Amino acid sequence: MTEPPGRRERKKAATRQKIADTALRLFLERGYDAVGIREVAAEADVAVTTLFSHFASKEALVFEQDEDFEQRLARAVTGRAPHEPLIPALRREVHALVRHCTADGAAPIWRMIDESPALRRYDESMRLRHAETLAAAIAADLELSRTATVGRTIARFVVDAYALAREAADPEAAVDEIFPMIEAAWEAGRSRVRA
Amino acid sequence: MTEPPGRRERKKAATRQKIADTALRLFLERGYDAVGIREVAAEADVAVTTLFSHFASKEALVFEQDEDFEQRLARAVTGRAPHEPLIPALRREVHALVRHCTADGAAPIWRMIDESPALRRYDESMRLRHAETLAAAIAADLELSRTATVGRTIARFVVDAYALAREAADPEAAVDEIFPMIEAAWEAGRSRVRA
DNA sequence: TTCGAAAAGCTAACGGTTAGTGCTACGGTC
DNA sequence: GACCGTAGCACTAACCGTTAGCTTTTCGAA
């Protein structure tokens, strides 16, 4: 992953990184909406089309690093210890995610996101994608006593917990307040066929 | 509300309606993404700027009618019978909303929405707004035994139930499957200060 | 009738995004 | 070491949603 797989790919990665760094710097300096794509491209010394060959949209420039976030919730399910219950594993992972987002360095970025409607909507869409990925992981893990709908529902609830906690005054405490509710929902989701 | 309050406002309403009707017809005929704003304006025989003085965005043309939706969930809380428990009241309202969305006439519109990323994202944003409105209504109704975080969480869960049900094969059954989970979460949300 | 203001219009532009078309430099192959 | 296919990048020119600036039309009220 860190080895040099050829000059070409190194250059490509360097270009991508330079674009992302330049963009984030300009955005933080002068505001997301006040900086145009043409300006980012000029400052990074690439063509606009090159920029869009590396990033699908202007918003994607901001969320560059969070690609693995998509998989972390799913891995918390599929990679947990055998016989470990589902919800506590998810709770641990959400705790970690929240801690990561509220770390010192991340604060200005999240403030910027909160201030821009476009970025907020992009973030919302991302979370829905995350919920779907998580739902798939849960479905693959489901015992017979629960339906697919229950799995999808829990996936949404977990992603909600993450979003709500991030907005809360005390994010970690919020996670601890919400997860018992999710646990209860999960218990109630046992099919009542013969319970 | 249905009386004629003057020619001016009648004409304005007529213009608005004509724009919305024309847009929806064109969108359904040839696809949302394949029809441009300039085309809708031309077909409705208005200027583009006029169109945007009636609707805030292209997406808003599609969701024209659902403005009162925003308030329905909140009213289900504030306007319920005295001493009626919260969750069953919300359950009834979500049932009604789902039934409304899966009615015969609405099917092609929702198919169109599902096919366009822009419309999906707009819908997601709308739902978040609805969750916040509902959260405010719940907060105003909260007994001392539950915190504001619990209220916000339940609001999200309820809106999730609506979204999940709409995507389910049997929407009404999905509501009935999800709401017991919400009920359990609500119970678990009692503060454990002295329970 | 006259006047103020809301509604509608026109033009022109801005900002994100995408074709279309090359050029150049790299990487695998002989 | 020369060769060729292709990936990466550049440039131009446009499309599309959206907005600003300003003029014209159309009501409602005085």
Q: Give the predicted TM-score (pTM) of the model.
A: 0.91
B3 pLDDT more than 60? no
B6: left (phi over 0), alpha (psi -120 to 50) or beta: left
Task: Report if residue A61 sits inside a domain.
Answer: no
Are A152 and A105 members of one domain?
A: yes
Are B122 and B164 members of one domain?
A: yes
Number of domains in chain B: 2
Tens of pLDDT, residues B27-72:
999 999 999 999 999 999 999 999 999 999 999 999 987 768 889 9
Residue A173's CATH number: 1.10.357
Tens of pLDDT, residues B123-166:
999 999 999 999 999 999 988 789 999 999 999 999 999 999 99
Are A103 and A190 members of one domain?
A: yes
Task: Determine contact, residues A155/A132, Cβ cutoff 8 Å.
Answer: yes
Are A117 and A173 members of one domain?
A: yes
A22 vs A57, A62, A67, A68, B150, CA distance in Å? 15, 11, 19, 22, 41
Write out which nucleotides of chain C lie closer than 7 A to a protein Cβ: 6-12, 14-20, 26-28
B79 pLDDT more than 50? yes
Are A52 and A86 members of one domain?
A: no
Task: Report if residue A1 sits inside a domain.
Answer: no
Provide mean pLDDT across the span A75-98.
Answer: 95
Are A130 and A185 members of one domain?
A: yes
Are B96 and B161 members of one domain?
A: yes
Supply the range of the domain harboring residue B175: 66-194
Are B35 and B128 members of one domain?
A: no
A75 burial (CB, 10 Å; 0-12 / 13-18 / 19+) is: middle
Tens of pLDDT, residues A97-149:
999 999 888 899 999 999 999 999 999 999 999 999 999 999 999 887 899 99
Task: Report if residue B130 sits inside a domain.
Answer: yes
Contacts 24+ apart (CB under 8 A), A169-175: A171/A98, A171/A99, A171/A101, A171/A102, A172/A95, A172/A98, A172/A99, A174/B149, A175/A91, A175/A94, A175/A95, A175/A98
- Chain A residue with CA closest to B181: the answer is A185
As a rounded value in angstroms, the CA-to-C1' distance for A49 and D11 is 9
Cα–Cα distance for residue pair A55/A46, rounded to 1 Å: 13
Are A183 and A103 members of one domain?
A: yes
Residue A21's CATH number: 1.10.10.60
Are B70 and B98 members of one domain?
A: yes
* A-B contacts at Cβ under 8 angstroms: 82
